Amino acid sequence: MSKYDIIIIGSGLGGLECGAILSKEGYNVCVLEKNELFGGCFQTYRRKGHLLDTGIHYIGSLDEGQVMNQFFRYVGIMDHLKVRKLDENAFDKIFYKNRVYDYAMGYERFIDTLCQSFPHEKENLRQYTTLLKEVGNLISVDNLKKGVISTEGMKFFNTSAAGMIDKITTNPDLQSVLAGSALLYGGLREHSNFYEHAMINNSYIQGAYRPETMPTIIGSAKLIIEVTPLSAQTMQTIIITLTVVTLVWIFLVTVCVTERFVSS
């Protein structure tokens, strides 16, 4: 009988969050990681003397009562995070065709700000923000209890982000400005769906915050320990199994090779 209730392979943000939640709910969790540092893509690296961060730059939905605020309070770290709210009039700026377009916080302010540059697009912008909110509400606690993300939410997974924006407005400049946040999630016109586009933008428009002190020495690996506080036992398990997982992969590859050799 295993001494672990649950084994999670991979210590990326998703794996660590699952480990934190399950551990908090009383399960004995083991997280396996093959790399030297846990955190997945949540890392820093040095290139030509510069420290580059692949982790978070700012966090959305962090106002009181919003979903990330609720999650951080659930895992017990909200009051320990050192964050500051970004400029409500321009938490992000889109540079396009030698002009600057501000993304404002709060949906009415977001619409009114962009209407200064696109005065005839107010109804289209309202339609766009309504869809953002519809997707964002899919992960509310009440909706998750109903399993909405696996039913009504699936239509947005199968909808192109670029196609939806093009359908909302025929103005090519506004299309590009609304798609300007694609760099935040590595968006590609041919592949990115509206679900990821809307979920990210809804989160930031609701309430965008930035960590007061960005990671230094071990970068995002340090920050992820704060953001995802596993129990001491689980954290110890991650460190212990850094090399064990390599043996697991070697074992699996050996089995596959052996089976192919025998079958041939």
Please report the DSSP string for 100-127 in residue order: EEEE-SSHHHHHHHHHTT-TT-HHHHHH
Helices 122-136 and 161-168: angle between axes, nearest 10 degrees: 150
Per-residue model confidence (pLDDT) at position 32: 84
pLDDT band at 216 (very low <50, low <70, confident <90, very high): very low
* 3-class SS of residue 96: strand
Q: Which has more confidence, 186 or 177? A: 177
Q: Alpha-carbon distance 199 to 23, whole Å?
A: 27
Q: Is the pLDDT of residue 208 over 90?
A: yes
pLDDT digits (tens, 9 = 90+) for 135-164: 998 887 777 777 766 667 788 888 999 999
Here the tokens at position 143 are 């909706």
Q: Is the pLDDT of residue 105 over 90?
A: yes
Q: Are 15 and 8 in contact (CB under 8 A)?
A: yes
Per-residue model confidence (pLDDT) at position 106: 96
Per-residue model confidence (pLDDT) at position 171: 97
Per-residue model confidence (pLDDT) at position 99: 95
Per-residue model confidence (pLDDT) at position 55: 66
Per-residue model confidence (pLDDT) at position 214: 47
Here the tokens at position 128 are 């766009």
Q: Which has more confidence, 262 or 55? A: 55
3-state helix, strand, coil split of the chain in percent (to 5) is 50, 15, 35
Q: Is the pLDDT of residue 54 over 90?
A: no
* 3-class SS of residue 125: helix
Q: Is the pLDDT of residue 197 over 90?
A: yes
For the whole model, what pTM was predicted? Answer: 0.74
Per-residue model confidence (pLDDT) at position 117: 97
Per-residue model confidence (pLDDT) at position 112: 98
**Inter-CA distances, 142 with 63, 138, 155, 189, Å:** 18, 9, 19, 32
pLDDT band at 56 (very low <50, low <70, confident <90, very high): low
pLDDT band at 28 (very low <50, low <70, confident <90, very high): confident
Here the tokens at position 173 are 């400049």
Per-residue model confidence (pLDDT) at position 8: 87
Q: Is the pLDDT of residue 260 over 70?
A: no
